[in-house]
């Protein structure tokens, strides 16, 4: 229980946006329109990248995955991704996972399922508009 609480506080601190803690500013984050997840079926080795938009629910094997939010550091978009996911096995009512996953530390807040594994690769970062001179 203590580990889950510590992990939850750590993730909250990362995604909360600019705040002052211990005299230092936290990393400012930007919301994304979607994310790229990776799904693994450990029984047959099926590995698949799963693009998903914010608010969308997709299916991977027997899992329904809903992306609530994806955030990334504003100053360094390629650095990391934090995604709020709800993952449910279609044979069960209660979600197997409902919370934040961190791309750089997938084990910090992982889904517990005997067959499948899902983790965050990155947020989908919108392309910057090209400058036009005329």
DSSP string, 74-94: SS-TTS--EEEEEEEETT-SS
Distance CA 66, CA 61 (A): 14
Model pLDDT, residue 11: 54
Q: What is the pTM of this model?
A: 0.75
- Residue-level pLDDT, tens digit, the chain, 134 residues: 444 444 554 555 555 544 434 444 566 888 889 999 999 999 999 999 999 999 999 999 999 999 999 999 888 777 789 999 999 999 999 999 999 999 988 888 889 999 999 999 999 987 766 655 54
Domain boundaries, the chain: 2-17+29-123
């Amino acid at each position: 229980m203590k580990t889950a609480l510590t992990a939850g506080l750590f993730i909250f601190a990362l995604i909360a946006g600019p705040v002052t803690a211990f005299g230092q500013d936290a990393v400012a984050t930007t919301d994304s329109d979607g994310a790229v997840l990776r799904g693994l079926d450990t029984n047959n080795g099926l590995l698949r990248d799963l693009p998903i938009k914010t608010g969308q629910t997709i299916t991977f094997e027997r899992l329904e995955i809903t992306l609530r939010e994806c955030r990334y550091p504003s100053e360094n978009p390629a650095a990391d991704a934090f995604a709020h996911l709800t993952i449910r096995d279609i044979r069960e009512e209660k979600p197997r996972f409902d919370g934040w996953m961190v791309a750089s530390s997938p084990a910090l807040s992982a889904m517990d399922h005997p067959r499948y594994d899902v983790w965050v690769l990155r947020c989908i970062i919108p392309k910057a508009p090209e400058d036009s001179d005329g």
